[in-house]
Amino acid sequence: MSEEVKMPQMGESIAEGTIVRWLKGVGETVKRDEPLYEISTDKVDAEIPSPASGVLSEILVGEGQTVPVNTVVAIINGGSAKAVESKPVEAKPVEAAPTKAAPPVEAAPPAPAVAAQVGPQTIDELRRTKSSPLVRRIAQEHGIDISQLEGTGISGRVTKNDILSYIENRTAAAKQAPEAPRVAVAQASAPARAPQPLKAPSEVTEIGPQPFTDGDRVEIEPMSVMRRRIAERMVESRRISAHVTSFMEIDFTKTARLRDQLKGEYLKRDGVKLTFLPFIIKAIIEGIKKWPIINSSVWGDQIVYKKDINIGVAVALDWGLIVPVVRKADEMSLLGLARAVNDLGERARNKQLKPDEVQGGTFTITNPGVFGGLIGTPIINQPQVAILGIGVIKKKPVVIDDAIAIREIGLIGLSFDHRIIDGAVADQFMASVRDVIEAADYTS
**Residues assigned a catalytic role:** 418, 422
Q: What is the DSSP string of 330-347?
A: GG--HHHHHHHHHHHHHH
Strand partners, 364: 312, 387
- Beta carbons of 157 and 126 less than 8 angstroms apart: yes
In terms of residues, how long is the chain? 444
User: How far, in Å, are 14, 228, 433, 444 from residue 441 at the CA level?
Assistant: 42, 42, 11, 8
Cα-to-chain-centroid distance, residue 24: 24
Instruction: Please write down the HEC assignment for all residues of 394-419.
Output: EEEEEEECCEEEEEEEEEEEEEEECC
Residues ≥6 apart with Cβ < 8 Å to 379: 234, 237, 238, 243, 387, 415
Report the C-alpha gap between 314 and 348 in whole angstroms.
10
If one counts every other C-beta atom within 10 angstroms of the C-beta of residue 305, the result is: 10
The torsion defined by the Cα of 406, 376, 275 and 234, in degrees rounded to 10, comes to 170
45-49, strands of its sheet edge to edge: 45-49, 35-40, 16-22, 66-68
Q: Name the strand (E) or helix (H) holding 40.
A: strand 35-40
- Beta 66-68 vs 243-251: how paired, if at all? unpaired
In 119-272, the DSSP E strands lie at 243-251
Report the C-alpha gap between 318 and 3 in whole angstroms.
33
- Beta carbons of 353 and 14 less than 8 angstroms apart: no
